[in-house]
Chains A and B, each alone.
Chain A
Amino acid sequence: MTNPEYEILLVEDDAADAELTMLALQEAAFAHRILLARDGAEALDILFCRGAHAHRHFENPPHLVLLDLKLPRVSGHDVLRALKADPRTRPIPVIVLTSSDQDRDLIQCYRLGVNSYIKKPSELLKFQETVRHFARYWLVVNRKPPPAAFAMQALGEGV
C-alpha cells in the first residue's frame, strides 16, 4: 500500500534534533516530504509563501507543522501566533514538539491555538512511537477542509 505524499514542515534549529526527528518520521513508514526550517523567520516565509519561498501557494500548504519553541530570531510562539492569526494558514495543524514541559509554555501555546503539545521523550524508542502516533493521527485519521477552501475562507474574511 502506498500512502499519498505528505508534506511536513519541521521547524527546528538544532541539527541533531532535526536529524533525529526526520529519522523517526522515516521510521514511521510514511512517504514524507520534509521541509526543514532552521528558524522562525524561515518557517514564516514558507508558510506565507514569501522570500525564497514566494513560488509556493496558499492552496498547497504543508500538511503538518512540527514546531520547536526555542528558536533564534523569531520564536516558536511568534510563528504559532502568526500562523493561527491568519485565516489562510489557520487550518494547518501545528504540533509543538519541544523538550520543555514548562506550564507557561504549555498554557501560552494552547492560548495561541496549537493543535497538540508534545514533550519529546528522552528515549528514542518512545519518541519514535510518539511520532508514529501523531503522524498517523494528523495526516491520515483527522479530516481537514480542502486546501482551496482556505483561500475562499480568506476572501470571505476580507484578508
Chain B
Amino acid sequence: MPLSRTLRFRRRLFIAGAVVGLILLATFYLVFHNSAQAAARNDWVAHSQEVLTVISRARLAPAGLQNQVWAFRSTHDAELPRRFPDFLQSLSSDIHHLREITADNPAQQVVLAELTPILSNQMASLEQAMRRAVLAPDEHTDLAFDWSLPTPLSDHVQRLFQVLESNERSLLAARTGAVRNSVFRDNMIFLSAATLTFAVLAFAGWLVSRELVTRAELQVGIGEAAELLGVKYEDQRTKLGHAIRELNVQIRKRQHAEADLQILNGELEKRVDARTLQLQEANNELETFSYAVSHDLRAPLRHMEGFSHFLRQKYGPGLPPEAQHYLDRIRAATTHMSDLVEGLLLLPHAGAQPQNLLPVSLQALFEEARSKMQPELLKREIDWRVGTLPEVLGDSVLLAQVFANLLSNAVKFTRLQPHAIIEAGSCEKNGERVIFVRDNGVGFNPDFAAKLFGVFQRLHRQDEFEGTGIGLATVQRIIRRHGGRIWAESVTGQGATFFFTLPAPRKITTEMDSLVGAAA
C-alpha cells in the first residue's frame, strides 16, 4: 500500500516538525522570560554593589574629616576649612542616599536609623572642632581633647557600618547566586531544547532516510520488475514476430498452392470441357443414329409386317401349306427384327443418367410390372411369392423397366415348369440391402453367367426361348447408372436368381453431399 505508507510518512514528518516547532517556541518563551528576570536580578546585584560602595565611602568619611581638622591644626592651611562643609555635605548626602536605596530593606533601615543620629553628632563635633581651630589656631589642648573624643563613637559607628556592609554583602551573595542559578537554568533549558530538537530532528532524519531507502529499494524493485516485464514482453514480441513470419510463410505457401491449384483446376476444367464437348458430339451422333434407326430402320420392317399381313389375309387360304409356312417365317423374322430394333433404341435411354431421382417404392413398381404382364399370364398359373421390397432413390421409369424385363424373363423361363414359382424380396448381405427376383425355371449354365448381361448375348436357343439378348443388358445399365450392382446365380435346370443393389435414399444424398464437399 504505497499511498497509505506515504501518508503515514508524511504524518510522522509533520509531527516531528510540529514537535521541533513547539520546542523552539518553548525555548524562545523561556529564554525571553528568563532574560527579563536575569536583567532584574543583575539590577539588584548592581544595586547591592552601589549600596556597598556608598557604605564604604560613608564609613571612611568621619576619619577623613578628623584628619582634615588635624591637618589644619598643624599646617593652618586656609584651604582646608573652606572645603570642609563640602565634605560634610557629601557625607550627609551619602547617608541620605543610603537610606533611600535601602528603603526596601527593613533590616538596613533599622541599622541606618541607629547610625544616622550618631553620625550627625559626630559631624557636628567635627564642625565645631574645625571652627575652634580656625578661631584659636595655636591652642593645642583642644586637640588632645578632641582626639580622645570621637574614639568610642567611632568604634560604635564602625560596628554599625560593619553590620550594614555584612547585611548588604550577604544580600549581594544571595543575588549573585540567583543570577548564577538563572544562568545555569538557562543553559539547561538550551541544552535540553537542543538535545530534544536534535533527537526529534534525528528521528525525522531517520524517518526520511528510511523512507528514502525504502523508496530507493522500491524504485530498484520497480526498475527490476519493469526490466523483467520488458524482457518478458520483448520475449513474447519476438515469439509473436516469429509466429507471424511463420504464418506469413504458410500463407504465401498456401497462396502459391492455391494459385497452382487454380491453374490445375483451370486446365482440368478445360480438359473436362473438351471431353464434355467430345462426349456431346458423340452423343449427338448417337442421337442422330438412334433417330435414323427409329425412323428409317423401323419403316421397312413395318412395311414387311403390313404387307405380309395383307398377303396372308387376302390370299393365305389359297396358298399351298409350304408357301404359308414361308410366309410365317417371314413374319416371325420381321417381328424379331422389330423387337431387336426396339431393344436397341431403349439401350441409350437405359444408359442415360437417371433424370428424376426421387424416392421410389419398389413394391409399387413390382406390382405395376406384374399387372402389365396380365395378358400373358392369363394362360399360366404362377405361384407368386412377393416379400417386402424397399424404397429407393431413383428414376421410376427406368426402374420400372428393370422389373418389366426381369419379370418377363422369369415368366418366360418358367414356361415349361408345371408348378411355376416366382419370388421377389429383399435381404441384407454384407451390410448391403439386396433385392432379388427368383424363379424355378430352366436356369442357365453358371459357366456362362459372365455373358448374361452382354448385349445380344443369349444363353438359350431362339427356338427354345425367344429373345433379343438386350433385356438384361438394359437392366444392368439401369442398375449401374443408379450406383448399384447386379448379378445372377443359377444351376442349370433349377431356376435362376437375379440380385441387385440400389442405394437407399439417404445414401445417395450422402454421396452427393460428399461430392459437393469435394468439389468445394
Q: Which residues of A contact B (CB under 8 A)?
A: 14, 16-17, 20, 23, 70, 98-102, 120, 122-125, 127
Closest to A102 in B: B291
Can you pick out 7 interface pairs between chain A and chain B where the beta carbons lie within 8 Å of each other? A17-B302, A20-B306, A99-B298, A100-B291, A100-B295, A123-B335, A124-B309
Query: Is A23 a contact of B310 with CB atoms below 8 Å?
Result: yes
Closest to B287 in A: A102
Q: Taking the complex as formed, is B146 at the interface, i.e. its CB lies under 8 A from any CB of chain A? A: no
10 nearest A-B pairs in the assembled complex, by CB-CB distance: A16-B303, A124-B309, A124-B306, A20-B306, A122-B338, A99-B298, A100-B295, A122-B302, A99-B295, A99-B299
Query: Is B295 a contact of A98 with CB atoms below 8 Å?
Result: yes
Query: Is A101 a contact of B309 with CB atoms below 8 Å?
Result: no
Q: Taking the complex as formed, is B305 at the interface, i.e. its CB lies under 8 A from any CB of chain A? A: yes
Query: Is A122 a contact of B305 with CB atoms below 8 Å?
Result: yes
Bound form: Cα–Cα A23–B313 in Å:
13
Least Cβ–Cβ distance between B416 and chain A, in angstroms: 27
Least Cβ–Cβ distance between B119 and chain A, in angstroms: 179
Interface residues of B in 282-316 (CB under 8 A from A): 290-291, 294-295, 298-303, 305-307, 309-310
Inter-chain contacts of B305 with A (CB < 8 A): 122-124
Bound form: Cα–Cα A124–B291 in Å:
22
Q: A16-B303, A17-B299, A20-B307 are in contact. List 9 more A-B contacts (CB 8 A).
A: A20-B302, A70-B295, A99-B295, A99-B299, A99-B302, A100-B294, A102-B294, A122-B301, A122-B302
Assuming the A-B contacts A100-B291, A100-B295, are A16 and B307 also in contact, with contact meaning beta carbons closer than 8 angstroms in the complex?
yes
Least Cβ–Cβ distance between A25 and chain B, in angstroms: 13
Bound form: Cα–Cα A101–B298 in Å:
11
Assuming the A-B contacts A122-B338, A124-B309, A125-B309, are A20 and B294 also in contact, with contact meaning beta carbons closer than 8 angstroms in the complex?
no
For the complex, count residues of B whose C-beta is within 8 A of A: 18
Number of A-B contacts (CB under 8 A): 47
* Contact mask for chain B residues 269-292; partner A; CB cutoff 8 A; 1 contact, 0 none: 000000000000000000000110
Assuming the A-B contacts A16-B303, A17-B302, A17-B303, are A124 and B310 also in contact, with contact meaning beta carbons closer than 8 angstroms in the complex?
yes
Q: Which residues of B contact A (CB under 8 A)?
A: 290-291, 294-295, 298-303, 305-307, 309-310, 335, 338, 342
Least Cβ–Cβ distance between B354 and chain A, in angstroms: 16
Bound form: Cα–Cα A23–B303 in Å:
12
Closest to B297 in A: A99
Assuming the A-B contacts A20-B303, A100-B291, are A122 and B310 also in contact, with contact meaning beta carbons closer than 8 angstroms in the complex?
no
Closest to B294 in A: A100
Label chain B's interface by main secondary structure.
helix
8 Å CB contact of B306 from A70, A98, A100, A127? A127
Least Cβ–Cβ distance between A148 and chain B, in angstroms: 39
Bound form: Cα–Cα A23–B342 in Å:
25
Inter-chain contacts of A101 with B (CB < 8 A): 294
Query: Is B302 a contact of A120 with CB atoms below 8 Å?
Result: yes
Least Cβ–Cβ distance between A75 and chain B, in angstroms: 12
Inter-chain contacts of B299 with A (CB < 8 A): 14, 16-17, 99
Bound form: Cα–Cα A122–B302 in Å:
5
Assuming the A-B contacts A16-B303, A100-B291, are A122 and B298 also in contact, with contact meaning beta carbons closer than 8 angstroms in the complex?
yes
Bound form: Cα–Cα A16–B310 in Å:
13
Closest to B302 in A: A122
Least Cβ–Cβ distance between B316 and chain A, in angstroms: 14
Least Cβ–Cβ distance between B293 and chain A, in angstroms: 10
Inter-chain contacts of A122 with B (CB < 8 A): 298, 301-302, 305, 338, 342
Least Cβ–Cβ distance between A70 and chain B, in angstroms: 6
Inter-chain contacts of B310 with A (CB < 8 A): 23, 124
Select the residue from B295, B301, B307, B335 with max chain A CB neighbours within 10 A.
B295
Bound form: Cα–Cα A17–B295 in Å:
12
Inter-chain contacts of A98 with B (CB < 8 A): 295
Closest to B310 in A: A23
Least Cβ–Cβ distance between A76 and chain B, in angstroms: 11
Inter-chain contacts of B307 with A (CB < 8 A): 16, 20
Inter-chain contacts of B298 with A (CB < 8 A): 99, 122
Least Cβ–Cβ distance between A127 and chain B, in angstroms: 7
Bound form: Cα–Cα A39–B368 in Å:
43
Bound form: Cα–Cα A122–B299 in Å:
8
Bound form: Cα–Cα A17–B309 in Å:
14
Inter-chain contacts of A120 with B (CB < 8 A): 302
Closest to A23 in B: B310
Least Cβ–Cβ distance between B353 and chain A, in angstroms: 15
Bound form: Cα–Cα A125–B312 in Å:
13
Least Cβ–Cβ distance between B433 and chain A, in angstroms: 33
Inter-chain contacts of A14 with B (CB < 8 A): 299, 303
Bound form: Cα–Cα A86–B310 in Å:
40
Least Cβ–Cβ distance between B201 and chain A, in angstroms: 118
Inter-chain contacts of B342 with A (CB < 8 A): 122
Bound form: Cα–Cα A13–B389 in Å:
50
Bound form: Cα–Cα A16–B308 in Å:
12
Bound form: Cα–Cα A53–B409 in Å:
55
Closest to A120 in B: B302
Least Cβ–Cβ distance between A126 and chain B, in angstroms: 10
Closest to A121 in B: B302
Least Cβ–Cβ distance between B469 and chain A, in angstroms: 19
Inter-chain contacts of A20 with B (CB < 8 A): 302-303, 306-307
Bound form: Cα–Cα A100–B294 in Å:
6
Closest to B299 in A: A99
Inter-chain contacts of B309 with A (CB < 8 A): 124-125
Inter-chain contacts of A127 with B (CB < 8 A): 302, 306
Least Cβ–Cβ distance between A16 and chain B, in angstroms: 4
Inter-chain contacts of B303 with A (CB < 8 A): 14, 16-17, 20
Least Cβ–Cβ distance between A68 and chain B, in angstroms: 9
Bound form: Cα–Cα A79–B301 in Å:
27
Inter-chain contacts of A124 with B (CB < 8 A): 302, 305-306, 309-310
Bound form: Cα–Cα A10–B146 in Å:
217
Inter-chain contacts of A17 with B (CB < 8 A): 299, 302-303
Closest to B337 in A: A122
Inter-chain contacts of B301 with A (CB < 8 A): 122
